[in-house]
Amino acid sequence: MTGIWGRLEMKNIRKWMMAALLIFGIWIAAGGSGSAATVDTYTVRVEKGYLALRTAQAYDYRNEIGKLYTGDTVEVEEYGSGDYWYVYSSKLNKYGYVNNNYLFYSGITDDTDYTVSVQSGYLALRTEKAYDYRNEIGKLYTGDTVEVLDASDSGYWYVYSDKLNKYGYVNKDYLIAPDIIRGAKYYVTGTTYYLALRNAKAYDAANEIGRLYNGDYVYVQDTSDSTYWYVYAPQLNKYGYVNRNYLK
């Protein structure tokens, strides 16, 4: 429970800070600044059910005008000092109030897809920020990608896996940032058995360092050779040469 209460305490501290910033912004506007306010995007996270979008700052079934689920995002229009913030939901195309205890700011504004990279085995998707076999809800392998929703923790990040269609926590040390992987993305196709990843530009059983199959993808780093292109293979977490005739 310590972790949960710790997050809530930090959440409350942040709420008051945001409220102070809002008041300061209003004061500046009143002085004739006229500058547009920055809109922050937050992600919804609920353990179950939904987060209600409401017409008033109160818990009442009669003021519900929409339902938001984990992974949905809202733009905060007004922070205030209580538990309810005034937001805009592009999904619902509506403005309203939501309980801010279920909103999380990741600090990541673009390129949020990270690639899994493990030397062996798998990266567990978990229900909690802890290494425990009982909280595993899915397995992610090298080359799989996840969308990072909350990167505020120093060890475990909250992510969404499109492959598993699940939300959960993963150890961030096994995620590769998107700006590390560069190059055009090509898919392996037309192989009978597999496409060899090699450490040299030659057809030789001795230089094979990995196997790629139809449907796997690579990021091309160098296309200067007429037959062998230098690529990065996320599935293998390796760089090497492949026959370009099997890339599309």
pLDDT band of residue 184 (cuts 50, 70, 90) is confident
What is the SS3 assignment for 110?
A: coil
Residue 162 DSSP symbol: T
What are 20-58's pLDDT values in tens digits?
544 444 344 444 444 444 567 888 888 789 999 999 999
What are 73-91's pLDDT values in tens digits?
899 898 876 889 999 999 9
Domain 2-104 sits in CATH at 2.30.30.40
Spatial contact of 45 and 159, defined as CB atoms under 8 Å apart = no
> Do 2-104 and 181-246 have matching folds?
yes
CA dihedral sign, ordered 148, 152, 157, 159: negative
Give all strands of the β-sheet with 94-99 in edge-to-edge order.
64-68, 51-54, 94-99, 84-89, 73-78, 40-44, 103-104
Beta carbons within 8 Å of 244's beta carbon, 6+ residues apart: 223, 225, 227, 228, 229
Beta carbons within 8 Å of 188's beta carbon, 6+ residues apart: 195, 212, 213, 214, 215, 216, 217, 218, 242, 246, 247
pLDDT band of residue 71 (cuts 50, 70, 90) is confident
* CATH for 113-179, options being 2.40.50.140, 3.10.180.10, 3.40.50.300, 2.30.30.40: 2.30.30.40
What is the SS3 assignment for 10?
A: helix
pLDDT confidence of residue 179: 60
Buried b (16+ CB within 10 A) or exposed e, 48-62: eeebbbbeebeeeee
Tell me which of 4 and 218 has the higher pLDDT: 218
pLDDT confidence of residue 11: 47
Q: Of 103, 89, 90, 98, which Cα lies nearest the Cα of 64?
A: 98
What is the SS3 assignment for 238?
A: strand
Q: Which CATH superfamily is domain 181-246 in?
A: SH3 Domains (2.30.30.40)
Q: Which of 108-122, 137-151, 208-222 is least confident?
A: 108-122
Measured between alpha carbons, how far is 66 from 83 in angstroms, rounded to an integer? 18
> Residue 102 pLDDT more than 60?
yes
Each domain of the chain, given as residue ranges in start order, spans: 2-104, 113-179, 181-246
* Mean model confidence pLDDT for the chain: 82
